[in-house]
Structure 1
Amino acid sequence: MPAAHRKPRQRSLSGSTVRTAATLALASAATATAFDGGAAHAEPDLTPAQVKAKVDKLYQEAEVATEKYNGAKEKAGKAQKKVDALQDEASRRTEALNSQRQKLGAAAAEQYRTGGVDPTVRLLLSSAPDRYLDEAALAERVGTRQAATITRVRKELREIDQLRDHADGQLSELRAKQKELRQQKKTVTAKLGEARQLLDRLAPADRTLDPASGTGTAAGADRASRSTDRAASPSAGAPSKAPNSRAASAIAYAYDALGSPYVWGATGPSAFDCSGLTQAAYRAAGISLPRTTYAQINAGQRVAKSQLRPGDLVFFYSGISHVGLYIGDGKMIHAPNPSAPVRIAPIDQMPFAGATRVA
């Protein structure tokens, strides 16, 4: 065969050549991974201000999920009560129905035992025809009553079936609300966990970033804030500006709650989330408020920011995800987030969304 048509011989790779090739391949793969974003996911060091911004955003997102959780929990509770009531009523009516069925069964058995003889023959055989006729008339009336009882039983059966169908529908709604509850809880937990991880990256002194916003977590700052807030409490001698006794009671409750921890889903008396605090404050004043921020904003008369008076509820963010209790002088008492206790803060620290007067 001519030399031109011969295949070139494959040269075997020496050990050093193989190692060099492998090293180059690994380096190439690592470079490609970096450009693909593998290494790009490593977050650079953040300044305390950047951490604060991220944490604030996570807390706001968690609060949105918290209010959805509160709403789902409230609806799930109502659905559970409906299911329980329907099932109890169905059981009670079934028990009463079974009693009627037993009576009908006994009457049917008696008719079977005595109904085989023709009435005319029974009259002829009777030693007291007049008495027999009286008994026959009575039996006819009893039969009419039994027919009416059968009609009632059939109607009761239909109504019990409808009750059970209704209970099944409510049970499906309850399961849907419970599923939503679990999802919102998962969302809240994830957001708060991410916020905690970010805060843990900071030195303890840097975790008190902005006392006004409530992001700080240092114990000393919390104690100082709590002391200052309580000094301004009406119970400590400062005059109450509340326009009426109910608003005054709500404000007094909120002052007493200063320093209490924020716990999502909590409504007191030792911990609160934002809408839990306002609900508890007005519950103490004899006014029942809905559970969630987006329901509380529609619970009273809407008022403009320029017309605020102590006792009004003030709401923040476009999604109405945060609420505080206005106490005058541009300030409110609110439950900020898990990094800060219930405290006094200016209402201008967050985007104002509206206000409602409930007292």
Structure 2
Amino acid sequence: MASHRRPKQPTRTRVTVLTATAAAAVALSSQSAVAAPDKPNKDEVKAKVDALYEEAEQATEKFNGAREHQEKLEKEIAQLQDAVARDQGGLNDLRNTLGSMATAQYRGGGIDPSVALLLSGDPESYLDKASTLQQLSGRQLQAIAEIQAKQRALAQQRQEATGKLADLDATRKELGEKKKAAQDKLAEAQALLNTLTAQERSQLKDEEAQQSKAGRTAGEGAAPVASASGRAGAALAAAKTKLGSAYIMGATGPSAYDCSGLTQWAYGQAGVSISRTTYTQANDGTRIGRSQLQPGDLVFFYDDLHHVGLYAGNNMTLHASNPRGGVKYESMDNMPFQFGVRVG
């Protein structure tokens, strides 16, 4: 039979314990809320994003260098493979010539055993001893010597190609690592920007627009391009046509650039070929100090030289800044200047 006893009422002691427990829970919750870190404000997010952009650009320039090395290796390997194919054809022709001599000997009444060995056995090991075989005719000795030289050259080319292929594999791996490092930093920066409210993002965009407008005004008011040397002036004039273009890692135009991609493209429009990365562009001309700068000179920033732009005069640089700013004018004082380079 079911029990209909009334539930036991909590004792005074039990009520006190429950009340104390609830109060403690509320207190702990309040303490946790106080201890939780504050959400970074707009300016803090911008500073962190700018730092991440710098790290991404460091990885981007290393990516550019690895890609340039990969392209160079691919060309060298293709040339070596073509040379191997040509030399293999030449070697086959020489063997055919020697075979024709042996055939003539055979038809004339016999074939020299050493020639038969060359044609039917292991010619590679035989060739090292062939020059000592005095019983061969002069023409046969000459043919054998040519074959020997061709074989050695061919072996060397194949060994070189094998080494370059291994180097290419390592370079491709490095390329992937540098690309991922840059992309991870950019993704982290974007995630930070996404933590801002719509209003904060709008304010940040407005501030960037105002800074870009001020930079453009200062840049356009800089020393005229005509005061630069001809090619440097032409490079700066070309870069000006790309103001507002997007910044994209590894891009060299025509609609998007990274920092060294823009400078390489601009000088290319002036008929001057410079290298691909900031690290190598630093050696593409004569290094100069800040007081010697003229419009169109390359200007390098940061201790490791991971950023480059074009000097625009009036203490301004025209550069592919970062994914948020794109191609724009900016004060030289906003970055740690290292030196300039006068190209050509």
Q: In structure 2, what is the Cα distance between the partners aligned to 1:354 and 1:244?
A: 18
Equivalent residue, structure 1, for 2:246: 261
Equivalent residue, structure 1, for 2:125: none
Q: What are the within-5 Å matches in structure 2 for residues 186-205 of structure 1? A: 186-205=180-199
Secondary structure at the counterpart of residue 345 of structure 1: strand
Do residues 77 (structure 1) and 86 (structure 2) align? no
| Aligned AA (1:280) | W
Secondary structure at the counterpart of residue 255 of structure 2: coil
Equivalent residue, structure 2, for 1:273: 258
Equivalent residue, structure 2, for 1:229: 216
Deviation, structure 1 residue 323: 0.9
Equivalent residue, structure 2, for 1:156: 150
Equivalent residue, structure 2, for 1:19: none
Secondary structure at the counterpart of residue 170 of structure 1: helix
Deviation, structure 1 residue 205: 4.1
Q: Name segments (4+ residues, structure 1) moved above 6 Å.
A: none
Q: In structure 1, what is the Cα distance between the partners aligned to 2:82 and 2:37?
A: 57
Maintained 8 Å contact 2:301/2:337: yes
Maintained 8 Å contact 1:217/1:340: no
Give 5+ residue unaligned stretches, structure 1. 1-23, 25-30, 36-41, 118-141, 210-215
Deviation, structure 1 residue 207: 3.2
Secondary structure at the counterpart of residue 111 of structure 1: helix
| Aligned AA (1:229) | R
Q: In structure 2, what is the Cα distance between the partners aligned to 1:223 and 1:267?
A: 27
Q: In structure 1, what is the Cα distance between the partners aligned to 2:333 and 2:58?
A: 19
| Aligned AA (1:203) | T
Secondary structure at the counterpart of residue 254 of structure 2: coil
What are the Cα deviations for residues 55-106 of structure 1, in whole angstroms up to 9, with x where unaligned?
1111000000011111111111111111111111001110121122123223
User: How many residue pairs get matched?
Assistant: 293
Maintained 8 Å contact 1:226/1:343: no
Equivalent in 317, 326, 329 of residue 332 of structure 1: 317
Secondary structure at the counterpart of residue 343 of structure 1: strand
Equivalent residue, structure 2, for 1:21: none
Distance 1:239 1:355, change over 3 A: closer
Equivalent in 48, 51, 70 of residue 42 of structure 2: 48
From the CA coordinates, give the structure whose radius of gyration is larger: 1
What are the Cα deviations for residues 141-193 of structure 1, in whole angstroms up to 9, with x where unaligned?
x9422221121011101110111001111111111111111110010010001
| RMSD of aligned residue pairs (Cα, Å) | 3.3
Equivalent residue, structure 2, for 1:124: none
Equivalent in 234, 242, 263 of residue 249 of structure 1: 234
Maintained 8 Å contact 2:245/2:255: yes
Secondary structure at the counterpart of residue 290 of structure 1: coil
TM-score (norm 2): 0.76
Distance 1:116 1:308, change over 3 A: closer
Distance 1:232 1:323, change over 3 A: closer
Deviation, structure 1 residue 225: 3.9
Do residues 314 (structure 1) and 273 (structure 2) align? no
Equivalent residue, structure 2, for 1:294: 279
Q: What are the within-5 Å matches in structure 2 for residues 197-216 of structure 1? A: 197-207=191-201
Deviation, structure 1 residue 249: 0.5
TM-score (norm 1): 0.73
Maintained 8 Å contact 1:226/1:259: no
Percent identity, aligned pairs only, is: 45
Deviation, structure 1 residue 305: 1.3
| Aligned AA (1:145) | R
Equivalent residue, structure 2, for 1:346: 331
Equivalent residue, structure 1, for 2:122: none
Deviation, structure 1 residue 226: 6.7
Q: In structure 2, what is the Cα distance between the partners aligned to 1:114 and 1:160?
A: 34
| Aligned AA (1:246) | R
